[in-house]
Amino acid sequence: MSSMSVPAAGRVPTAVPAPVVVPAARAVLLLGATAMLALAAYYFVGVDQGALSVFGSDTHIHEFVHDSRHFLGFPCH
Protein backbone atom coordinates (compact mmCIF):
# COMPACT_ATOMS: atom_id res chain seq x y z
CA MET A 1 0.00 0.00 0.00
CA SER A 2 1.19 3.55 -0.73
CA SER A 3 2.32 5.90 2.04
CA MET A 4 0.25 8.73 0.46
CA SER A 5 -3.22 9.18 1.82
CA VAL A 6 -6.22 9.48 -0.42
CA PRO A 7 -7.33 13.15 -0.69
CA ALA A 8 -10.81 14.11 0.42
CA ALA A 9 -13.44 14.55 -2.26
CA GLY A 10 -12.78 17.69 -4.33
CA ARG A 11 -9.36 18.43 -2.81
CA VAL A 12 -6.14 18.26 -4.74
CA PRO A 13 -3.01 17.33 -2.79
CA THR A 14 -0.40 20.09 -2.92
CA ALA A 15 3.31 19.99 -2.26
CA VAL A 16 4.58 22.12 0.58
CA PRO A 17 7.85 23.86 -0.34
CA ALA A 18 10.75 23.50 2.05
CA PRO A 19 11.85 26.76 3.72
CA VAL A 20 15.08 28.38 2.58
CA VAL A 21 17.65 28.36 5.38
CA VAL A 22 20.22 31.15 5.18
CA PRO A 23 23.15 31.11 7.62
CA ALA A 24 23.23 34.13 9.96
CA ALA A 25 26.57 35.41 8.66
CA ARG A 26 25.31 35.39 5.06
CA ALA A 27 22.05 37.05 6.11
CA VAL A 28 23.98 39.87 7.80
CA LEU A 29 26.16 40.29 4.71
CA LEU A 30 23.14 40.43 2.39
CA LEU A 31 21.32 42.85 4.69
CA GLY A 32 24.38 45.12 4.88
CA ALA A 33 24.86 45.11 1.10
CA THR A 34 21.17 45.86 0.56
CA ALA A 35 21.28 48.75 3.04
CA MET A 36 24.36 50.24 1.36
CA LEU A 37 22.75 49.97 -2.07
CA ALA A 38 19.56 51.59 -0.76
CA LEU A 39 21.51 54.44 0.84
CA ALA A 40 23.45 55.04 -2.39
CA ALA A 41 20.20 55.11 -4.40
CA TYR A 42 18.67 57.51 -1.85
CA TYR A 43 21.70 59.79 -2.10
CA PHE A 44 21.71 59.91 -5.90
CA VAL A 45 17.97 60.49 -6.18
CA GLY A 46 17.30 62.64 -3.14
CA VAL A 47 20.43 64.44 -2.01
CA ASP A 48 22.84 64.92 -4.93
CA GLN A 49 22.38 68.45 -6.33
CA GLY A 50 25.08 68.51 -8.98
CA ALA A 51 26.95 71.59 -7.71
CA LEU A 52 27.60 69.95 -4.33
CA SER A 53 28.12 66.49 -5.76
CA VAL A 54 30.62 64.11 -4.17
CA PHE A 55 31.94 63.38 -7.68
CA GLY A 56 32.59 67.02 -8.62
CA SER A 57 30.60 69.73 -10.35
CA ASP A 58 31.14 68.35 -13.87
CA THR A 59 29.23 65.13 -13.12
CA HIS A 60 25.56 66.00 -12.83
CA ILE A 61 23.77 62.88 -11.62
CA HIS A 62 20.94 65.24 -10.68
CA GLU A 63 20.03 65.64 -14.35
CA PHE A 64 19.81 61.87 -14.87
CA VAL A 65 17.37 61.40 -11.97
CA HIS A 66 15.51 64.71 -12.27
CA ASP A 67 12.09 63.27 -13.20
CA SER A 68 12.29 60.55 -10.58
CA ARG A 69 13.00 63.21 -7.95
CA HIS A 70 9.72 64.95 -8.82
CA PHE A 71 7.84 61.63 -8.94
CA LEU A 72 9.10 60.69 -5.45
CA GLY A 73 8.36 64.15 -4.04
CA PHE A 74 11.92 65.45 -3.56
CA PRO A 75 12.17 69.20 -4.14
CA CYS A 76 15.01 70.18 -6.44
CA HIS A 77 14.23 73.67 -7.80
pTM over 0.75: no
Could you give the C-alpha distances from 25 to 22, 33, 48, in angstroms and in order? 8, 12, 33
Q: pLDDT for 35-49, tens place per residue?
A: 999 998 887 777 766
Q: pLDDT for 53-74, tens place per residue?
A: 555 555 566 666 777 777 878 7
- Domain segments of the chain as ranges: 24-72
Residue 33 sits at the vertex; the CA angle it makes with 76 and 59, to the nearest 5 degrees, is 35
CB 76 within 8 A of CB 49: yes
